[in-house]
Structure 1
């Protein structure tokens, strides 16, 4: 307990200092870039179209391929940003959060496009962010009335509720910090070996992304665009 308490006291202030701008605005920007494309990555709609062509029009197969590919991306990104151990934990935190946010938002956006959703619709964008929270978190938020409904219902609501925009984005930001910071602390306390820390980070990010993708695939049922 002494070691854990000591490390917690040292790492928590660094985490706060390292990600001062991780706000709802950051999450919305990550989602926008994930949907529109960033760097060498094409837009989510273009990616969805190419996946569908590759899989001969089989949507379910295209979704499975999308999840597996993005889980691999997350694993590689997680490994790269976890190699430094405790010494570089605070410095690596923003990169890991940014990467995980982009990868998971992009994956869910591609899935939504494959299912026939309009990615320019703010209701759909809120549903994408809700999916990024994961099934357990969504159930708790719906039960506590922080969220009016699951992602599918958000995406197909009669009207867009602007009040939800900041709430959902803030929850995603908090979730990302919790996942990454918690993983850093667990790795540091339990392993304390930099390379092993990288493997733990790789596994955690890949598994988290795979779970989120599977949830999005189940939750976002097929729609016909008008």
Structure 2
């Protein structure tokens, strides 16, 4: 996990979060990183291919992707929170970036298996939205802050630059709010290093499971059905 941790820190540090376009820039880089990957952490397409080859069917591969990335996210959450309160301010940005990158990789792999073009900007923004989970997306759609569900965005006729920025800002705001809430709830536990690590493991694991299930729901198969 050192690779995503260091990438996350460098991304957060490079983008001024109070700048108008800062949130959009950070989120797009995290999604791109999760989808394209590195030598140490192969991207969504490679991950999807490995799981499909190993498990033999798209749906079995989707299930395995969720299990694998839940384990990775839990381990990452444990590592970045293990230091307790002393490392909280350092660990939180890296934790947020690492989880976003890992979940983007998972959702991208699911979308790829279901027949979506990961080079399509609409699909990448749908992946970004999926990281919020069903409840937050539904609330933002109901309030008019987002134009529709990830499936709607992924299959829309087009998407303009203003909408791209709006989606990225809404997602970043919600992610930072959720991260802040997690820290408030667990602040006492984080004063005790080992307990703090357990809180991070449980929270990040559960969140990744929820995102994986939402991705499975939203990215319905676009592959042709074989008939005999």
In structure 2, how many angstroms separate the alpha carbons of the residues matched to 1:139 and 1:119? Answer: 23
1:88 deviation in Å? 1.5
Any stretches of 5+ residues in structure 2 without a counterpart? 1-12
What's the Cα RMSD here?
2.0
Name 2:194's counterpart in structure 1. Answer: 195
1:96 deviation in Å? 0.5
TM-score normalized with structure 2 length? 0.85
1:93 deviation in Å? 1.3
1:45 pairs with 2:18: no
Q: Any idea what the Cα deviations from partners look like across 1:10-64, whole Å, max 9, x if unmatched? A: xxxxxxx9x95462211100111111112412221122122111111x1111001
Name 2:154's counterpart in structure 1. Answer: 155
Name 2:111's counterpart in structure 1. Answer: 112
In structure 2, how many angstroms separate the alpha carbons of the residues matched to 1:179 and 1:141? Answer: 14
SS at match of 2:131: helix
1:213 deviation in Å? 0.6
1:134 deviation in Å? 0.6
1:181 deviation in Å? 2.5
CA 1:191–1:26: 2 relative to 1, 3 Å = closer
Name 2:101's counterpart in structure 1. Answer: 102
User: What does 1:104-183 align with in structure 2 at a 5 Å threshold?
Assistant: 104-183=103-182
Q: Any idea what the Cα deviations from partners look like across 1:108-162, whole Å, max 9, x if unmatched? A: 0001001000000011111111111110011011111111111111111112233
Any conservation in 2 of the 1:96–1:180 contact (CA below 8 Å)? no
- How many aligned residue pairs are there? 208
Any stretches of 5+ residues in structure 1 without a counterpart? 1-16
Any conservation in 2 of the 1:37–1:43 contact (CA below 8 Å)? yes
Any conservation in 2 of the 1:113–1:119 contact (CA below 8 Å)? yes
Name 1:8's counterpart in structure 2. Answer: none
